[in-house]
Structure formats: structure tokens, C-alpha cells
Structure 1
Amino acid sequence: MELSTGRLRLKEFSWEDEQAVHAYASDSLVVEHMLWGPNSAEETQDYLRQVIQKQEHVPRTAYDFAVVLQETGQLIGGCGLFLEGYRQAELGYCFNRSFWGQGYATEAAKALVRMGFHELGLHRIYATCRPGNIGSAKVMQKLGMRYEGHFREHRWHKGSWRDSYQYSILAREFETEGEIGNDETRN
């Protein structure tokens, strides 16, 4: 499975991606707000092993893609859609910090939101971020997601209780707001 946008290709992860994934997954600044990391080499290998195994699950419940630049083929991050319950999914993304602030996370996430609603028939897609992760909150807002709430100290995160912001978008909002452009295609 593969998705394409104007600048990006979202492809299934493979073992050839290990070095590029580890470059961002081991960066303490990149994972500062994540519930995992920074990864050791073994943790990155475990992650890839799990992702590759989940590609074969039937029915599939995890769509975790490597995000690659169309022009160069360079892997710059990951973006995933994780099905939960009935017709709902969580959206997540993580990018090499050399590529922050260039709209890549929004572009990749838009492709997954479109896939979730149009191809998987989802009703609701949500995402969370730590309050200090302003860039991630901006991505969710650009996707047309609505702020749902501030969960106080609900996650044990790297040695302390942490808050989260939660955003979501419904299928009917996606259709009516026109937030998601038409530049995504599936191969």
C-alpha cells in the first residue's frame, strides 16, 4: 500500500528504513513530547519488527507509513492511522527535525485522514499532543480538527504525570469543510 501527495510518498516501512527511522527516533528533541524514546538501536529494531508484522494482519488495524520525499526518496518521518473501536482511529506522526516547519507533517496527515474517511469508512479520527508541543497542535488545526479538551495528568510520561490536548475531525466535517486538498492519490 502506498499514498502519494504533491511532495511526499507514504510507503510501508521495511527493514531498509532502519537507519533513517533511528535517526529521528533516537533524537531526544524529536521525541521530547512522545510517550516513547529516545530509542536505542534495539528499540528501533523492535518498532520496525512490530510495524512490519502489523502490515500482514487481517483485518488490518494499523496503517503506519514511512514518509519519503518524492524528489529524493529520502525518508523524513513516519505517520500512522490506528483503528480503535467502531469506525474510529487515532492519527500520529513523527518527523526528523531537519524537516520541521515545512508543512510535511500536515501534508502526510492529510493523506491519511483522506484514506481513513474515503477508503476505510471511518466516522471519527482523533489525535493528541502534550500542551508544550505547539507544532503538533498546529498540524491538527490545519487538518480541520477541532479541539475537544485538555486531559489533566492522565498519562505517566517519562517520570511524571502529563497533560494532553485532544483534537478530532468527523467524516461529515471533512466533507463539508474542504480542509483536505485533492492532491493526494493512492497507488
Structure 2
Amino acid sequence: FESRHRKDLQLAQRNMEEELTILSKPGNEFLIDANFRKKLRDRLAIIKSRTVFPVGSFRYSDGLSGGGNSAIHARHLEGFRAGQWGLNLWPRSKGQIVYRFEASGGGVFKTAILSSPAIAFDKGKLSNAIEIRTPASKGQKFVSLVSNWDGENKKRDFDVTRTVAGMPWFEVRISAHNQSAITRLSLLSIGVRGEVVEKKD
């Protein structure tokens, strides 16, 4: 779960599937407790999940407790450290995480909403920025959605439909800077929901 290398994750997936197959055979269910099998199934579900969505409604969310699924699902992860309640920043350090959301099978996004990103802000001590880009972005540069947003205490959805409509993918980049002398909890959760449709000729 510390690797984003697809080959390593595929190997882990095969190993877990083989373990579950062995444990499901008659008589083998007593070899190990049911709680272990449940944890194994939960971990397998995480590895098999993707940020790629077929035609229809989609929803993605990660609470990021203990790092959540960030090590697997993030396209880029730098500076942030897994903490009990989310992603932390060490004293006087910066962090950046990038997620790519894709439509599969030649589809495109019709709608997309960034669901109440829970990111901490403390004036003069902890700053942040949320940005987005698509294939249509000029030079594929990230465009600002919001900066220094107190998403830990205020709930707000960001409707990015106008930006992503008709696009086969979009990326969300979240950056933060801890300017204080103590470790700070920075990012607590991320979520996206919307709809993918077939691309019209």
C-alpha cells in the first residue's frame, strides 16, 4: 500500500485473490479467523478500485485516515505524510497531491463536482491551493479553483462541470504549505462525483 507502481499492485492483487481462493475451499475456512478474511477482501477491493469510470454516474471518495488510498490512487504524491486523521505536513514543509480522473471506453465527462474537499487552513501558518486541468487547459497548465480555503470547518462543493464537460480526463492538484514549527494535519478527505457519457461524433 506504499507503492504506486502498477506491476507491484497487480502482483499484490493476484496474491490476495489466490489467498482468498484457498481460504474459500471446504474445510479451509477454519484455518484462519473470519476477521482476517474480511480485511483481505477489503484490501483487495481497494487495490482493484480505480479512478477510471465507465458511462453512467460515478462517485469517488477517500477519507485519507492513515493515508487512506492516496498511495495507490494519486498520480503524484510529494511532501504529505500519512497521519491518523489524514495527510500531515511536517514543520516548515510543502506537500502536493495530484489525482487524475478518467472516462473509460472512449467516454467523456458530462458533469463533475469536487465534493467538499476537507483541507485545513490557518492564516500565516498553513496555506493551501486547489487547482484543476484538462486536455483543453492552455499548455495543460493547472487553473486555480480556490486558495487558502478552510475546508476543515466549512463545507462547499466545487462544480467543475464547465471545465470538464466533453473532456476524457481531468486532474485535481491540491497543494499545501506548513509554515509553522509543528507537524500539522493538512488534508482530511477528497471526493468527486458526476456523470460520464458516450462521446458524440
TM-score with structure 2 length normalisation?
0.30
* More strand as a share of residues: 2
* More helix as a share of residues: 1
Identify the structure with bigger relative contact order (alpha carbons < 8 Å, sequence gap 6+): 2
**Larger C-alpha radius of gyration, 1 or 2?**
2
